[in-house]
Structure 1
Amino acid sequence: MKRISRAGRRIGDVAVNDATDPQRPPTPAATPGYTSPLLALPGAIPNPEESPDHGVAWHYGDPLTEQRPARDGLAVIDRSHRGVITITGPDRLTWLHSLASQDFTSLADGETTESLLLDVNGRIEHHFIATDLDGTLWLDTERERTAELLGHLTKMVFWSKVEVREADMGVLTLLGPEVTSIDAIPAPDRAAALPGGGIARPLPWPVAGQRWDLIVPRESLRTWWSTLTAAGARPAGTWTFEALRVPAMRPRVGIDTDERTIPHEARWIGSTAEHGAVHLFKGCYRGQETVSRVHNLGRPPRHLVLLHLDGSADERPATGDPVLADGRTVGRIGTVVDHHEDGVLALALLKRSVPVDATLHAGKDTIAASVDPDSFPSYDAVQAGRAAVDRLRGR
């Protein structure tokens, strides 16, 4: 394979729509109704229309077998339906730091992090992955939330020296232990520019050192796909990505969360180094009071857990279906996926009062379910705020 130069042109040269004027409505996101050109490839089976991943390949004929290269070899997955936003300008990091839950002032060039935007009550509105490289901050997020996120960021520019734009870029994800055999992959722990525009960046999950995302122009998707598959990457669909994401306990906004979800429930607390999306020791941002109160004094009313479902059932629960214990609703089903080794898995938000060994049923067809004990959070540690209150009360 011909080695790909790491120089390339500057990322900021990508032609995108200007959406920096706070008085101008943002350009509608290009991703709603999106259909990837890679769906025309032989064997590609599209996601169902009701799927949040509609518009890209679900699998290529054998979804369970396709998961094995992502674990043992190398797989490439078309995730080009995700929305991509770029932020440029000298104030980009300090400006986003004031809006979002993660610490952006200490984000190094080439470093990637995750972050949330919360409402005034601390409930999750947006989640995005962000990479800063060569003066451009790259954000990618769920397709259906791109326009809303773009609009919110645009309205918050005011006098800051930043430009917020939507980029006609798509995400290709490489998964597996052989990922470093691809010549397009640069240094092991930092993002780098790609020739023709875009970036390649590492992410620590589902397995550290075994995932890279390539954000490339959508017009170049076919070229990149051919290059990657010629280098040995096996095509896989979003089914494979979800089958690795779910046991890694990485939620998706609007799927594994609902309108009431706060960051502690979704297990998103943590700095960039901790692979979290909420830094606990940064300056003010909307919703911070709830985060601080729960962390220091309270407990989240629910928590994200991994469920094992009865695979012999003819049906599968759907996102949003109830989780039942003794006939009463105690939780909510998120992503449901068939794993090639572990059977049917699901992420679920459960009430904190539900014990780890509870007998559960999921969905309208009351499919038997059990909590994976390794996914059950511990609440043994005494919170700093609670300990201070107890000291004041002489306890």
Structure 2
Amino acid sequence: MSDLRSPLLDLHGAVEGDPPDTGVAAHYGAISAEQRRLEAGEAFVDLSHRDVLAISGADRLTYLHSITTQHLAALAPGAPTEALILSPQGRVEHAFAGVDDGETFWAHTEPGAGAALAQFLDSMRFMMRVEVRDASADRAVIGLPGLRTEVVDRAALGEQATRLGDPVGTWAWEALRIAAGVPRLGLDTDDKTIPNEVGWIPSAVHLDKGCYRGQETVARVHTLGRPPRRLVMLHLDGSVDRLPVHGSDVLLDDKRVGFVGSAARHHELGPIALALVKRNVPVDATLLADGVAAGQEVVVDPEVGLHVRPVLDR
């Protein structure tokens, strides 16, 4: 959770979000209309509660390339990217998005996750010409149509309306994110999650780069096996006047088969959620998510890995 409070919370109609999205507006009083405006490219989202790190120095890209899942050694200025840091067992420990401006790589991560990410990055510098600092007080993240993000000067946050249209709340962003099947670290994942389970290949994992911590697990599951779990989007029973609680059980025939991640009300799809369920759950099974009946829409193919075969040199 972030301690930063956005000045856009002072706008008329702003309602502050709940944890972990405190410090910014959940909505400005027009929930469905805000989603439509964002989809139409007529608005931006205040995501200034996200933590921002500035990674500078001549070796910053080769350094990030060597310790993350992403191919960053030749990243072009202005090109957005996503990356993960894994445990030796291939479990996701950190996730961030960012862009390099030619001098600094601006990374942003979940509210409250920046300190641990900065500590890890700083511990891996060794003799490389790299400096890592928390830039959250000076820089802010905004969300753009198409689930794109941008890091701007925090002091100019209120001026973005002139360039991008009026702000909309995080509820609009979350509904569109869930509908797109895009996971969020700590909400749609747990401490056992590997990238293969939640669709972070290839968006945050480059399969043709050099070694990195946890690569063996990722490669093995991608080429030979099936992930133990899979991310799924749930279409929730709209007659129930509540959304499943984050972390609540997903049941099939009264047996726990997973947990609920993010949930939202989409302006067209109705109530939806992301859940992480066991791979062998039939894709056409009706599930119970915190007691709410839910149909499934596949995000991660339960047979992923069987469609890939290594090419053997003869």
1:173: Cα distance to partner? 2.1
Checking the alignment, whether the CA contact within 8 Å between 1:56 and 1:81 is kept in structure 2 is yes
- Partner amino acid for 2:88? V
Matched, 1:383 2:289: no
SS of equivalent residue, structure 2 residue 112: helix
In the superposition, the TM-score normalised over structure 2's length comes to: 0.94
Q: Which amino acid aligns with 1:88?
A: S
Contact kept? 1:336, 1:345, Cα under 8 Å: yes
CA distance in 1, matches of 2:44, 2:220: 42
Residue 360 of structure 1 deviates from its aligned partner by: 0.7
Deviations 1:114-150 (A, max 9, x none): 0000111110011101211122111011112111001
1:350 aligns with 2:277: yes
Asked whether the equivalents of residues 74 and 174 of structure 1 are also in contact (C-alpha less than 8 Å), the reply is no
Mapped to 1, the partners of 2:307 and 2:15 lie a distance apart of 50
Whole-angstrom distance in 2 between the partners of 1:306 and 1:220: 36
Q: In structure 1, how many angstroms separate the alpha carbons of the residues matched to 2:52 and 2:132? A: 11
Distance of 1:118 and 1:102 partners within structure 2: 11
The answer for the alignment partner of 1:368 in structure 2 is 293
One-letter code aligned to 1:250: V
Match of 2:130 among 162, 166, 191: 162
Counterpart in 1 of 2:198? 266
* Mapped pair 1:284 → 2:211: yes
Partner SS state of residue 243, structure 1: helix
Aligned partner of residue 335 in structure 1, secondary structure: strand
Aligned pairs for 1:277-316 within 5 A: 277-316=204-243
Structure 1: gaps (5+ residues): 1-30, 176-204, 271-275
Contact 1:123–1:259, Cα closer than 8 Å, also in 2: yes
CA distance in 2, matches of 1:108, 1:219: 27
Match of 2:151 in 1: 215
Give the fraction of aligned pairs with identical amino acids, expressed as a percent.
48
2:141 equivalent to 1:171: yes
* Matched ranges for 1:81-160 at <5 A: 81-160=49-128
Distance 1:217 1:73 in 2: 21
In the alignment, is the contact (CA less than 8 A) between 1:302 and 1:351 conserved in 2? yes
Structure 2: 5+ residue runs without aligned partners? none
Amino acid in structure 2 at the alignment position of 1:100: T
Does residue 1:34 correspond to 2:4, yes or no?
yes
Q: Secondary structure at the match of 2:193?
A: coil
The structural deviation recorded for 1:378 is: 5.9
Q: Which amino acid aligns with 2:308?
A: Q
Q: Is the 8 A contact 2:83 2:205 kept in 1?
A: yes
Instruction: Give the CA deviation at 1:218.
Output: 1.9
Q: In the alignment, what sits opposite 1:227?
A: 162
2:37 and 2:78 map into 1 onto residues whose CA distance is: 28
CA–CA separation in structure 2 for the residues paired with 1:376 and 1:95: 31
Q: Give deviations 1:184-242, integer Å, cap 9, x for gaps.
A: xxxxxxxxxxxxxxxxxxxxx44xxxx4x3322222222x24523xx6x1331000001
Q: Letter of the aligned partner of 1:235 in structure 2? A: P
> What is the CA deviation profile of residues 244-264 of structure 1, one whole-angstrom value per residue up to 9, with x for unaligned ones?
111111110000001110000
1:251 aligned residue? 183
Q: 1:73 Cα shift?
A: 4.3
The 5 A counterparts of 1:40-59 are: 40-48=10-18, 51-59=19-27
CA distance in 2, matches of 1:111, 1:121: 30
CA contact (8 A) 1:356 1:376 kept: no
Measure, in 1, the Cα distance between the counterparts of 2:300 and 2:64.
Answer: 33
TM-superposed deviation, 1:39: 0.6
Say how many residue pairs are matched: 311
SS in 1 for 2:196: coil
CA contact (8 A) 2:279 2:302 kept: no
Which amino acid in the other structure matches residue 169 of structure 2?
G
Residue deviations 1:35-70 (CA, integer Å, cap 9, x gap): 11111111111012xx21111000011211211111
Whose Rg is larger? 1
What amino acid sits opposite 1:143 in the alignment? P
Cα displacement (A) at 1:376: 5.3
**Alpha carbons 1:69, 1:234 under 8 Å: kept:** no
Counterpart-to-counterpart distance in 2, 1:263 and 1:376: 11
